[in-house]
């Protein structure tokens, strides 16, 4: 993945009559070692998640059930990605403001994370994020 800051990740998929299985391994599918996982679910359709950036954290988000939209803002431009396929992940590098919204009923967002949770890694104020991105104090 190198210095690509966001991008689609295709997980390996094993489809059989008895069901489907997806997997991702560090090096082959994931550009970092996973130190933490969490998932977001039971999200009311009108709710939003995220609305923050991370200084050092890298993540892969996967819609393991249902679908949702992710708006990514690198401080210069915004892009919205729709996730709706358990074998596809979105890699998000550090310093991207993200907003998750438009959750379908029963949607589950699985997050693979490169670091243990640390509140200091979060930027929760958009103006602080923009200032850090544009190198102003």
Q: Which helix (H) or strand (E) holds 133?
A: helix 126-133
Beta carbons within 10 angstroms of residue 32's beta carbon: 18
Check binding of 49 to ligand TYD (CB under 6 A): yes
Near ligand TYD by CB under 6 A: residue from 38, 41, 45, 82:
38
Near ligand TYD by CB under 6 A: residue from 6, 24, 34, 40:
40
Q: What are the backbone dihedrals phi and psi of residue 133, each rounded to the nearest 5 degrees, phi first?
A: -70, -35
**C-beta of 14: minimal distance to ligand TYD in Å?**
29
- Whose structure tokens read 């390996």? 12
52 is catalytic: yes
Task: Give the residue with the Cβ less far from ligand TYD, 17 or 46.
Answer: 46
Would you call 56 helix, strand, or coil by DSSP?
coil
For the record, the structure tokens of 117 come out as: 């949770």
Tell me how many residues contact ligand TYD (CB under 6 A): 6
Binding site for ligand TYD (CB under 6 A): 36, 38, 40, 49-50, 117
Return the active site residues.
Answer: 52
């Amino acid at each position: 993945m190198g210095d690509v800051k966001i991008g689609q990740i295709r997980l390996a998929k094993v489809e059989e009559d008895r069901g489907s299985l997806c997997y991702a391994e560090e090096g082959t599918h994931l550009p970092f070692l996973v130190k933490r996982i969490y998932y977001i679910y039971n999200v009311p359709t009108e709710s939003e998640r995220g609305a923050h950036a991370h200084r050092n954290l890298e993540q892969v988000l996967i819609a393991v059930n249902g679908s949702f939209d992710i708006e990514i803002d690198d401080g210069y431009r915004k892009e919205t990605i729709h996730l709706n396929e358990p074998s596809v992940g979105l890699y998000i590098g550090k310093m991207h403001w993200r907003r998750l919204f438009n959750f379908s009923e029963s949607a589950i967002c699985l997050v693979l994370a490169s670091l243990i949770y640390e509140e200091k890694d979060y930027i929760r104020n958009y103006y602080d994020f923009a200032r850090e991105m544009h190198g102003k104090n």
